[in-house]
Chain A
Amino acid sequence: MHGFANPARFLRIARWLMPLCLGLGLVVAALALAWGVFFAPAERLQGETVRILYLHVPSAWLGMAGWMGIAGASFTELVWRHPLAAIAARACAVPGAVFTAVCLLTGSLWGRPAWGTWWVWDGRLTSMLVLLFLYFGWMALSQASESSDGSENHAPAIFGLVGAVNVPIIHYSVIWWNSQHQAPSITMGKSAMSGDFLWPLLTATLGFTLIFAGVVLARMRAILANQQAEARLRRKAFSEVEF
């Protein structure tokens, strides 16, 4: 574990892992979407609109996984003070927020034909919207607490952990409360969804998850490079003052 916390070692691994994740993810996601849109069957009641599923569900998963990434990194930062933890949390925020937004948008587009409404304030939709706002708040806080003098600020990490409470609420919102949104089709080892829908969905989820991982690695590399450049500039500025 500590080996990966070493930025130099991390950069060596990320250099080849990032293009691998991104490339493989793009290919798998594109194939899965083509499968879902052109080859998978229409649904008995919903007809063709069921195809939004292949974008909606992976986005929902990654929106929630992104916050679990922030929370995990925050925990690591607070307990073990890993130098990469805060960077990993910052790298998860933007892709997580983007996927949450995509989930809300595709859900709204799907809700109109399937339910007869763009939006309802039920438990699932509301808690997912709260997740998007949590991302916005977290990004603002993380930006505001960035210090140029290298001092540590753990406010985003604490926010990241507290905000994680919303993730199980999103998941259980359709089980605890009556909701417009359906209950989960896929539960532990069982699927109420025919394999005709399930396999392209799982493939799309794998593809988008690989893309997410690639983006997080790319953002971590960019943040590290930025920090190194800033440190170099600072050293240069000091040496010019002294000599």
Chain B
Amino acid sequence: MAGSIKAKHQRLVLLAVALVVLIGAALLAAWALRNQASYFYVPSDIVARPPEPDRAVRLGGMVEKGSLKTAADGVTVDFVVQDGKARVPVTFRGIVPSLFVEGSGVVAEGRLGANGTFVADNLLAKHDENYVPREMQDMTKEQAKQVVAETQ
């Protein structure tokens, strides 16, 4: 019996060590991937290290409030994507997703033009982690904050 308990103890230690090594390896791999595995660049990345022109990249961030303008042709939209540190003007011709509104997240696929304007071929809307019922959208900020505080 003592022998079997010792064997169990040995297996437990061996497996614990193996798991620690495994998790360490996975964390190292994730750390190495930290930039490559991102789905898009944020405006401060684009401003700090502009991609070569004509290289297809994705730009993600928030649509700046008050920046969204529809051109006279009705299908071209111009807006600014910002991440709080930098802002990049974007132009897009096509149908925008229904969740695409000012102050909300967006992922634009396209290329950085020579004049610093990002020319998007495709827009994806991004919704954040906040879920607010439709009835609450007309409340003032304070009222909404109070309701949210009650539910937390």
Which residues does A use to contact B, with CB under 8 Å?
A: 41-47, 50, 53, 75, 78-81, 113-117, 120-123, 161-162, 165, 168-169, 172-173, 176-180, 182-185, 190-198
Contacts and interface: CB of A to CB of B under 8 A. Distances in A.
B56 interface: no
B12 to A, nearest CB: 5
Interface stretch (B47-55, B68-76, B93-101): B93-101
A116 B40 contact: no
18 contacts: A41-B135, A42-B134, A43-B132, A45-B99, A78-B11, A80-B8, A115-B99, A116-B123, A161-B19, A168-B26, A169-B26, A176-B34, A178-B42, A182-B128, A191-B152, A192-B128, A195-B151, A197-B131
Given A79-B11, A177-B34, A45 B107 contact: no
Contact of A162 (B22, B33, B107): B22
Given A116-B124, A191-B151, A169 B30 contact: yes
Contacts of B97: 115-116
Given A179-B38, A195-B151, 19 more contacts: A42-B133, A44-B134, A45-B101, A50-B131, A78-B11, A79-B11, A115-B99, A116-B124, A161-B15, A169-B30, A176-B30, A176-B34, A178-B38, A178-B60, A180-B126, A185-B131, A193-B130, A194-B132, A194-B133
A192 B131 contact: yes
Contacts of A123: 37-39
Contacts of B136: 44, 194
A156 to B, nearest CB: 15
A116 B125 contact: yes
Contacts, number: 124
Interface in B107-139: 107, 123-137
Main secondary structure of the interface of A (DSSP, over half): mixed
Contacts of A176: 30, 34, 37
Interface string B9-41: 001100100110011001000100110011111
A123 B33 CA distance: 11
A123 to B, nearest CB: 5
Contact of A45 (B19, B104, B124, B152): B104
Nearest to A161: B19
B107 A184 contact: no
A46 B100 CA distance: 10
A196 B133 CA distance: 7
A46 B127 contact: yes
Contacts of B148: 194
Interface centre among B37, B42, B97, B147 (most CB of A within 10 A): B37
Nearest to A178: B38
A192 B99 contact: no
Nearest to A71: B19
A115 B126 contact: yes
